[in-house]
Each structure stands twice: as C-alpha cells, then as structure tokens.
C-alpha cells in the first residue's frame, strides 16, 4: 500500500511539473493572449507582452484604452471572436524567438489568418511588441 501511495505521489508531482512547463511554450502563451483578446481583457494582453523599455502604469493605461477602442470596434463589427485555431510554433534556431500562426473565427463566420511573434525573456515566452 505504501509503494502504491509513493508511486501515485511521484506521478502526481510529475503531472504538476508537466502542466506547469506546458503553459510556458509559444503556443500556450499565444492561446492565453487570444483568450484575453476574446474576452476584451486588454490589460491582461499587455501583461503578456514584452516592451524593450517596459511600460509605466500611465503608458499601460493609455495603451489599454487605445487598443480597447480600436480592437473592440473592429471585433464588434464582426460579431466578436467566436473561436480561434493555433498552429504549431516556428521556433528560431537559437531558441530565443518564435512565430505562432493562428486563425481568428468571428461571430459572423468570417476569418482572419495572422501570427504573433514571441521572444524568450528570462525563461518566459512573451508576445514581442517590437517596441
């Protein structure tokens, strides 16, 4: 019985580590980013982005408002984001950048193919703002 308990404990710990590791890959980060976009949580989207010089709270608030106004108007015209499909990441040879293609499917059934560029910063994948 003790052996079974130990085995189950080890399996549970391995599962937890695997789940944590899998949330830090380009596809998982892009998925979370698109889920935040779908919900209209633009502050959470910005939290997932890399800005070379960082953002002050004031800059972040301005960007949230600007993105919110522009993106919401575009998305609302198409009936919102109904779903999305993420393709496998194209990771650069040096392992420091990646491109994740995806397709947005809107409520009016129109689609948009796009991609996100990601960068690995301190062991964490972030959407690269390019700024």
Within a domain: residue 8? no
pLDDT category, 17, cuts 50, 70, 90? very low
Would you say residue 5 lies in a domain?
no
Q: In the prediction, which pLDDT does 25 show?
A: 97
Please state the domain count of the chain.
Answer: 1
**Model pLDDT for residues 25-53, shown as the tens digit of each residue:** 999 999 999 999 999 999 999 999 999 98
Q: Looking at residue 40, which CATH number applies to its domain?
A: 3.10.450.50
φ, ψ for residue 86, nearest 5 deg: -105, 135
Residue 12: pLDDT above 60?
Answer: no
114 domain residue, yes or no: yes
pLDDT at 22: 57
DSSP string of 34-62, one letter each residue:
HHHHHHT-HHHHHHTEE-TT---HHHHHH
3-state DSSP assignment of residue 98 = strand
Residue 102: domain span = 24-128
- Residue 42 Cα distances to 6, 11, 60, 109, 122, angstroms: 44, 37, 10, 23, 23
């Amino acid at each position: 019985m003790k052996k079974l308990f130990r085995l189950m404990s080890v399996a549970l710990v391995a599962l937890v580590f695997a789940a944590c590791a899998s949330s830090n890959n380009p596809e998982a980060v892009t998925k979370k980013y698109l889920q935040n976009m779908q919900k209209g949580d633009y502050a959470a989207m910005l939290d997932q982005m890399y800005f070379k010089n960082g953002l002050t709270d004031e800059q972040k608030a301005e960007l949230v408002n600007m993105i919110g106004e522009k993106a919401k108007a575009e998305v609302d015209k198409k009936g919102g984001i109904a779903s999305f499909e993420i393709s496998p990441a194209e990771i650069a040879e040096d392992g420091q950048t990646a491109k994740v293609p995806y397709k947005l499917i809107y409520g009016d059934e129109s689609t948009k193919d796009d991609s996100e560029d990601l960068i690995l910063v301190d062991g964490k994948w972030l959407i690269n703002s390019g700024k």
